[in-house]
Amino acid sequence: MTSVRPLSGVRTVTFERFAAGPYGSMLLANLGAEVIKVENRAAGGDLSRFAAPDKVGDADSTCFEYFNLGKRSVALDLAQASDRARFERLVATSIGPQRACGSLRRPRGFYSS
C-alpha cells in the first residue's frame, strides 16, 4: 500500500535553531515537504549540533539528529555574494507553508515564524 503524503512537491527553506523551529519543519518533512535548512556557515552551523549530553559518534548531538530528521541542510554565509546567490536560487524554487495556502505573500519571498 502506498501512502500519499500531503505536502509532496512542496519545498521550503528554513532558518531555525533549537526546538520549536526544527520541530515544526520536521513535521513538514514527515508530511512530505522537502525541507532545506540553511545553517550559518560563519558560526559553524547550527549550535544544537554541539548540544549535550549525547553525541552520535564524534559528530552531531542526538538532539540535532532528532529534530533534523528528513531534512536537507546547506551551510551558507549570507555576507558572501556567492552564498547569497545560492540562497536566492533556493528561495526562488521554494513554496513555504503560507504561500502553499495562498497567504502572507511578500515581494521578496515569504516569512514564517
Tell me: the pLDDT tens digits for 51-87?
767 776 667 888 888 888 899 999 999 899 999 999 8
Percentage of residues in the chain having pLDDT higher than 70: 77
Is the model more confident about 13 or about 51?
Answer: 13
Three cell numbers written together for 43: 558560526
Q: Given the C-alpha cell 531534512, which residue does it identify? A: 71
Could you tell me the pLDDT band of residue 34, with boundaries at 50, 70 and 90?
A: very high
Which comes out higher in pLDDT, residue 9 or 97? 9
Question: What is the average per-residue pLDDT within 87-91?
Answer: 87
Provide the whole-model pTM: 0.74
6: left (phi over 0), alpha (psi -120 to 50) or beta: alpha
